[in-house]
Structure 1
Amino acid sequence: MATKLSLETLSALPPSVAKPSYAREALSPGIVHFGLGNFHRAHQAVYLDALFNQNEDHDWAIVGAGVFEGEKRGRDVLQAQDWLTTVVEQDQGVMDARVTGSMIDFLVPGDGAAIIAKLADPAIRIVSLTITEGGYFIDASTGRFDPKHPDIARDAANPTDPKTVFGLILAGLKARRGAGTPPFTVMCCDNIPHNGHVTRDAVCGLANLLDPELAEWVEAHVAFPNGMVDRITPATTDRERTIARDQFGVDDGWPVFCEPFKQWVLEDHFPLGRPALEKVGVQFVEDVSPFELMKIRILNGGHATIAYPGGLLDIHFVHEAMEHPLIRAFLAKLERTEIIPTVPPVPGVVLEDYYQLIESRFSNPKIGDTVRRLCLDGSNRQPKFIIPTVADRLKANQSVEGLALESALWCRYCYGESDAGTLIEPNDPNWDRMQATAKQAKSDPSAWLAMEDIYGAVGRSPEFAREFSGALRALWADGTVAVLQRYLGQQG
């Protein structure tokens, strides 16, 4: 019989489940976090839980916040279990469960007044974010903040009733400024190049629309450290809930499953202080850029590389894609010939060793990560994880054959039908547009590259257009397997 997770039942959980060694009532809030999804609860929340278990920094607990109606369901689940989460780490020879208690509240998503009041609280010294790559209002054609986005325009016209994360952050900063309270640090934990700078551009960009003087104050006084985060964390399904219940005896409505590996590299710029995260494995550096570029190109670019051929071949799990010899070989060749050569040296890291670690992590059969998750949101991910690598290769007059094939596979996937004719359900916030363009590109590949907001100058490159068009036409004529065989120099 499984035990329903709550503070009251912690002591009744099986001994195999690690539990917080600290008293939850001893914690006080220091961080407001936007985006209480699986990654945050497997990453930042886990690091803080480990620190609290060392009897350190109990005044840095997390208060959750959100802006979307759909987040209320997750909040209800977590509230029913006193904000506790079961985190299960899985690898071939490892499966460990722990209950984390580093979050102590979750404000009602969309309750702007309550969120702004909490942001104005002097006890809050860090505001952190995991709102996905597409949540920063970036114009992919320029790589800059888009002040004309409808959501931003709406907040600019209604500054006392903001609906975006950045509108709420700005309202909180404005309240603190008015009260003479020093500003909190804004810490982005999303997979975006120069994520601190991107976050600052969004906050300051919105501030400029409202009050240029406020924008100047934010620019001068608010810290936005860059950071690199990493942990493979799939979505929770009934599979994960069943394993938590049957194998660990924990009835958790929203457990998180993840790989044992985790990494967090941060620039140490926190004017109001920070938790001593270096004691639990966080690496603080002067410049996170080399680590960030390595991860985004090799890992996130690698995910994109295996995702779309896997989707087109009706492969469900990521480890199953890695078991397919053509997909695994495609990843290895593209990484070693086109992606890794664009990554500058990283202090203390051998890039080939890092790639082999990535390959091993992708192959983890226990994690249950899905190909569909990797295929999600290509319209926001490709401009960050793949297209900048293409741009660098083109500038250096180097081959983009493999990268063009990756892009063609993405286009072919967005058509909405696998090689076997299986329907691919919508899998992008812009799916209608992507599918319509992919259908047009079947006969006119240039239509895909004409998406200026996604491809920018890369889409106008004659060399890339030639490679892309050839790859896409071949995928339609011969199928994914034959095209991968040809790219790898194998006989069909």
Structure 2
Amino acid sequence: MGVVYCNYNSSEICTGILHIGVGNFHRAHQQFYTHMLLNDKDQQTWGICGVCLLPSDENVFNSLREQNLKYSLTVCGRSGVNEVYRIDSLRELIWAGDNPGAIVKKIADADIRIITLTITEGGYNLDKETGEFILDNENIQHDLDNPASPSTVFGFIAEGLRQRKKQNGGPITILSCDNLLQNGNMAKKAFTSFIQAQDKELAEWIMKNVAFPNSMVDRITPTTMYADVERLNRLNGTNDKVPVYCEDFAQWVIEDCFIAGRPAWERVGVEFTNDVTSFENMKLSLLNASHTLLSYPAFLMGYRKVDLAMEDADLVQFIRDFMDIDITPFVPAPENTDLEKYKQTLIERFANHSVSDQVSRLCSDGVSKFPVYIIPNLDKMIKGAKDLTRPAFLIASYRHYLKYKTDSHGSTFEVTEPWLTISDELLIGSENPLDFLELSAFKGIYLKTSEQFVELYIRFVQNIKDSGISSVLKSIIKY
């Protein structure tokens, strides 16, 4: 299989975007769109400067530097035909562990007109119950007291903007590319709260000089395991230490309110709109919620790859019932969107053997995912007196997954839940299933007040323990 190289001279590309969080999704999504756009001569001031903040970023930082910041992206077709791109839009890369001062200097640089972010759901440091920024965090307190030596994303951006203000670097847009409802509003809340607590004069400057558009992002991008590196290099004839692979579907919808100019991403398929709400509601309520719905039952059944789980007719029907019966009534389709076609495409995307996403990735960080993907529509279902069978089964499955850490084949596993609190751990350990409904993942909705939900949930908890996950699943699907 041949590799598609860029049609531009990368040495002539200037950086106009600084991106924080150079993970796989960013390299399969924003970098891909930007790479395609840089073929246009009038867009070649929009190269990307990547920023890595975490100690765990050292490997990707070193590997990309060794490869002159180039990497391969394999786009896996549902038909089995793949396309391989040599991505060259990443023009600079800075790691906080190597040169933190360079990050501040780059943010202050007038040539940088957009800061983009993929810092994950939990990275915005907002309380899940109140939505307020959490100030009493050790790292946050350090950055508030030591603005010249930041350690968090908030500290770095605050110091960079402070220097930008001093140098008359001009206004700038902060664009969240994280998978969150109203991600721009969340970014604005987080950064302005931090800066207001640190520097009120800078906070006033930000109100007039920084824009925070909302955006909706979509592209399934699995974690690249060691075996994937070998497989992709063998398949593509490459020698890439940090290759990325993703599905052939991609979507990016952005509110068009940039304060200092923007790339013409619409030329390569990005959609600009005045309000992203209907797009993100459709995506988070159908794709992300269905991923969460699938994850825990499938993992407990012994499936470790999403495409293999989608060969199970019961799981497929379970997802279809959830999308058609539970979610569709609450999801108005955006203009020019065929909702039935969108749902069918989701089923095909999940079943894409070329992507073969990890079920464990979908299971990880449920505490951050439930409040965004599941709880908003579950609240509507409870208030509308809808059938709560599938969400009750999901939450019973989540409890079993967290509490017993053993699948139906007797295989044990570790869970990845970085935001569990001590209180959460006690609730998971309790032998009273009702205590689990107080988990921080479900803040904002008091599940115990719904008699229907409690009755279904208690029954599913016991049945999963007594009869196994597969048997309970078969009892609730609607063929």
Report the CA distance between 1:489 and its aligned residue. 5.4
| Counterpart Cα distance in 2 of 1:144 and 1:133 | 14
2:17 is paired with a residue whose SS is strand
> Using a 3 Å threshold, how does the CA distance of structure 1 residues 328 and 350 change in structure 2: closer, same or farther?
same
| Counterpart Cα distance in 2 of 1:472 and 1:38 | 36
The residue aligned with 1:474 is 463
| Counterpart Cα distance in 1 of 2:231 and 2:153 | 34
- Choose which of 307, 310, 324 in structure 1 pairs with 2:312: 324
Counterpart residue type for residue 418 of structure 1 = D
Once the two structures are overlaid, the 10-residue window that deviates more, 40-49 or 422-431, is 422-431
Report the CA distance between 1:406 and its aligned residue. 1.1
- Choose which of 164, 167, 172 in structure 2 pairs with 1:179: 167
Give the fraction of aligned pairs with identical amino acids, expressed as a percent.
34
Q: Deviations over 1:362-381 (max 9, x none)?
A: 01011021111111111111
- Choose which of 40, 45, 48 in structure 2 pairs with 1:54: 40
CA contact (8 A) 2:367 2:440 kept: no
CA contact (8 A) 2:106 2:112 kept: yes
CA contact (8 A) 1:119 1:169 kept: yes
- Choose which of 329, 332, 350 in structure 2 pairs with 1:362: 350
Once the two structures are overlaid, the 10-residue window that deviates more, 146-155 or 27-36, is 146-155
Report the CA distance between 1:401 and its aligned residue. 2.1
| Counterpart Cα distance in 2 of 1:139 and 1:428 | 16
Q: Deviations over 1:358-407 (max 9, x none)?
A: 11100101102111111111111111111111112223232322112112
CA contact (8 A) 1:173 1:183 kept: no
5 Å-filtered alignment, 1:88-487, equals 88-91=74-77, 92-110=79-97, 111-415=99-403, 416-430=405-419, 436-437=425-426, 439-441=428-430, 443-452=431-440, 454-463=442-451, 464-487=453-476
| Counterpart Cα distance in 2 of 1:405 and 1:371 | 18
Counterpart residue type for residue 466 of structure 2 = A
Counterpart residue type for residue 471 of structure 1 = F
> Using a 3 Å threshold, how does the CA distance of structure 1 residues 98 and 229 change in structure 2: closer, same or farther?
same
The residue aligned with 1:9 is none
Counterpart residue type for residue 47 of structure 1 = Y
Q: Deviations over 1:234-267 (max 9, x none)?
A: 0112332223322221000010111111010001
The residue aligned with 2:57 is 71
RMSD: 1.9
CA contact (8 A) 1:140 1:454 kept: no
CA contact (8 A) 1:167 1:203 kept: no
Q: Deviations over 1:274-327 (max 9, x none)?
A: 111111110000001110111111000010011111110111110111111111
Report the CA distance between 1:85 and its aligned residue. 1.2
Counterpart residue type for residue 93 of structure 1 = G
1:279 is paired with a residue whose SS is helix
CA contact (8 A) 2:370 2:441 kept: no
> Using a 3 Å threshold, how does the CA distance of structure 1 residues 324 and 81 change in structure 2: closer, same or farther?
same
CA contact (8 A) 1:34 1:130 kept: yes
Q: Deviations over 1:178-237 (max 9, x none)?
A: 222212100000000000000000101101211334323323331000000100000112
Q: Deviations over 1:434-460 (max 9, x none)?
A: 98446534x311221112464333344
> Using a 3 Å threshold, how does the CA distance of structure 1 residues 437 and 401 change in structure 2: closer, same or farther?
farther
- Choose which of 3, 10, 18 in structure 2 pairs with 1:32: 18
Report the CA distance between 1:142 and its aligned residue. 2.3
CA contact (8 A) 1:414 1:431 kept: no
Report the CA distance between 1:338 and its aligned residue. 1.0
CA contact (8 A) 1:191 1:228 kept: yes
Q: Which runs of 5 or more structure 1 residues have no equivalent in the other structure?
A: 1-13
Once the two structures are overlaid, the 10-residue window that deviates more, 196-205 or 134-143, is 134-143
Report the CA distance between 1:431 and its aligned residue. 5.9
1:70 is paired with a residue whose SS is helix
Once the two structures are overlaid, the 10-residue window that deviates more, 276-285 or 427-436, is 427-436
| Counterpart Cα distance in 1 of 2:173 and 2:471 | 51
| Counterpart Cα distance in 2 of 1:282 and 1:315 | 34
| Counterpart Cα distance in 1 of 2:443 and 2:437 | 6
CA contact (8 A) 1:391 1:458 kept: no
CA contact (8 A) 1:414 1:438 kept: no
| Counterpart Cα distance in 1 of 2:464 and 2:335 | 40
CA contact (8 A) 2:434 2:448 kept: no
Once the two structures are overlaid, the 10-residue window that deviates more, 236-245 or 161-170, is 236-245
| Counterpart Cα distance in 2 of 1:24 and 1:387 | 45
Report the CA distance between 1:420 and its aligned residue. 2.2
Q: Which runs of 5 or more structure 2 residues have no equivalent in the other structure?
A: none
Taking structure 2 as the reference length, what is the TM-score of the superposition? 0.95
Report the CA distance between 1:79 and its aligned residue. 0.5
> Using a 3 Å threshold, how does the CA distance of structure 1 residues 143 and 359 change in structure 2: closer, same or farther?
farther
2:147 is paired with a residue whose SS is coil
| Counterpart Cα distance in 1 of 2:328 and 2:472 | 22
The residue aligned with 1:5 is none
CA contact (8 A) 2:35 2:88 kept: yes
1:331 is paired with a residue whose SS is helix
CA contact (8 A) 2:171 2:209 kept: yes
Once the two structures are overlaid, the 10-residue window that deviates more, 364-373 or 386-395, is 386-395
Q: Please tell me whether residue 86 in structure 1 is matched to residue 81 in structure 2.
A: no
The residue aligned with 1:11 is none
| Counterpart Cα distance in 2 of 1:191 and 1:150 | 26
| Counterpart Cα distance in 2 of 1:408 and 1:353 | 31
Q: Deviations over 1:22-43 (max 9, x none)?
A: 1111011111101101100001
> Using a 3 Å threshold, how does the CA distance of structure 1 residues 336 and 48 change in structure 2: closer, same or farther?
same
CA contact (8 A) 1:411 1:438 kept: no
